[in-house]
Amino acid sequence: MLRSIIRKEILHNLLSYKFSIITALTTILILASILMMYRDYGLAMENYETLARLSSKSGAAVITPTPLSIFVKGLDDNLCRSYEGGSVNIEVSRKQQSVNKVFRLFTTADLLYVIKVVLSLCAMLFAFDMVCGEKEAATLRQSLSNSLGRPLLILGKWIGGFTSFIVPLFLAVLLGTTFVALQPRVAMSPQDWARLGLFLLSSVIYLAVFFSLGLLISCLTHQASSALVVSLSVWTLLVFLIPNLGIILARELVEIPTVQQLEVARTYYRVGLYLAEQRMDSTDRSEFDRLVDRVSAESNQLAEDYRNRFNRLLAVSRNITRMSPAAAFTFLATDIMGTGVAEERRLKSAVLQYIQTAESMPDSRPAFRYERSTCSETLAQGGMDNLLILMLFGILFGTGAYVAFLRYDVR
C-alpha cells in the first residue's frame, strides 16, 4: 500500500505544471551557477599565482584557492589574500589582486546560495498544497474513506513528494560536478570529494527541513491560498529576517572596536615610537629598547583583546542566527568546504605563528605551508552541532506535520 501511495504522488507531481516549472528553473540556475563560479575560480588561481611570485620575495603568507569554492565560495577570497607581519597584528598586503568585483555588488551566486534560497523556497512550494489542496479537490476524503490509515498516507505523501522534488535537482548537480571534474585546471583530492559528498548530504537534510515545514503548513491550513501566503511569510522569516536580525542583535550585545579605531591605535603606537626615537640620542639606546618592549607588549595586548572580542561576537552571532535552519546550513556548508569562519580563524593563527618563526630566523625564512581542516576536524570544531540542529529542525517539522495530519479535518 505504501508503495502505491508513493507511486501515485510521484506520478501526480511529474504531470503537474509546478514540477515542470520548478525543475526547469532550478536546473538552469544550478548549471549557470557552477559555470559562473568555475570562471571565478580561474580568476582566483591567476590571482594566487601572482601573489605567490610576490610573496616569495617579500616573505608574505598566501595559500592556494580550494576547488570547492566553485560550489561554496564562502570566505575563500579572504583566505587567499596575502598576509604580512604588522606592528600590531597580521596585515593584508597591498599587493592583493582583484578577483571578481561583480560579487562585491551582488550576492555570490554559488551552489550554496541556490540551495539555501531558491531550492528551499521551491521545496516549500512543492509541499504547501499536498494536504489542503487535496481537501479542496475533495480527493483527500475519498482516499481516507477506505481502509487506508492516516499515518501510512502522510508517510507516503512525504516520501513520494520529496523524492520527485529532489532527484531531478541533484541530477543537475551531478551534471555540473561532472563538468568541473573534467576540467584540467581543477584537481580535487579524495578529501575534497569527501567534503563535497558531505555537503550534498547536508543539502538534502536542509531541503527536507523546508519540505517538511511546507507539509506542516499544509496540514495546518484548509485552503491552498492561505497555505501559500503562510509559507512565503515563514520562508522569508527563516531565510532572511532571523539571520540578519541575529547579526544586528549580536553587535548590540558585544562591544567591539571598529577597524578604523584599531588602525588609529596602531598609528598612535607607530608615531609615538618614531617621535621617541627622534628625541633620543645614541646614549639613550637602552631606554629606547625598553620603550619598544613596552609599546610592543601594549600593541600585542590590543591585538589580543580585539581578537577575543571578535571571537566572542562571532560566537554570540552564531548562537542567535542558528535559530534559523538557513543560518545553520550556511555555517555547516562553509565549514565543510573549508571556506568558513572557523577556517579563517585557523589560518590567521597559523600565519601569526609563521610570522613569529620568520622573525626569529631572518636569514633563512621558511616558506609558508598550510593545510585546510579535514572533514573530521570540521565536524569536531562545531560542524556536528550545526548538522544536529538541521536534523532537529527536520524531526520537529516532520513530527508536527504527522501529528497535525492525524487531527486534520478532511470534510
In a domain, 198, yes or no: yes
pLDDT digits (tens, 9 = 90+) for 198-235: 999 999 999 999 999 999 999 999 888 999 999 999 99
Report residue 226: phi and psi, to 5°: -65, -40
Mutual orientation of helices 285-321 and 242-253 as an angle, nearest 10°?
140
Q: Give the pLDDT score at 120.
A: 94
In the predicted structure, residue 151 carries a pLDDT above the cut 50? yes
pLDDT digits (tens, 9 = 90+) for 243-276: 888 878 877 787 777 666 666 666 766 666 666 6
In a domain, 7, yes or no: yes
In Å, how far from its chain's centre is CA 65?
Answer: 16
* 304 in a structural domain: no
209 in Cβ contact with 386 (< 8 Å): no
Domain that residue 91 falls in:
2-236+327-370+391-406
Q: How large is the average pLDDT for residues 279-292?
A: 61
User: Is the model's pLDDT at 364 over the cut of 70?
Assistant: no
More confident residue, 348 or 158: 158
Whether residue 250 lies inside any domain: the answer is no
20 in any annotated domain: yes
> How open is the CA angle 310-52-361, to the nearest 5 degrees?
75
pLDDT in tens, 54-102: 776 666 788 889 999 999 998 888 888 887 765 445 555 544 544 555 5
pTM > 0.75 = yes
Say which DSSP state 129 is in. Answer: T
- Give CA–CA dist 292/57, Å, rounded: 27
Residue 276 sits at φ, ψ, to 5 deg, of: -65, -40
Query: How many CB atoms sit inside 10 A of residue 333's CB?
Result: 28
54 lies in some domain: yes
Domain total in the chain: 1
Mean pLDDT of the chain: 82
CA gap 144, 191 in Å, rounded: 49
Residue 302 DSSP SS3: helix
Dihedral sign from CA coordinates of 342, 348, 350, 352: negative
Classify residue 322: in a domain, yes or no. no
59-to-82, 351, 355 alpha-carbon distances in Å: 10, 11, 9
CB 93 within 8 A of CB 83: yes
- 3-state DSSP assignment of residue 83: strand
Give yes or no for residue 130 having a pLDDT over 80: yes
Please give the distance of CA 209 from its chain centroid, rounded to a whole number: 17
Q: Which residue has the higher pLDDT, 265 or 341?
A: 341
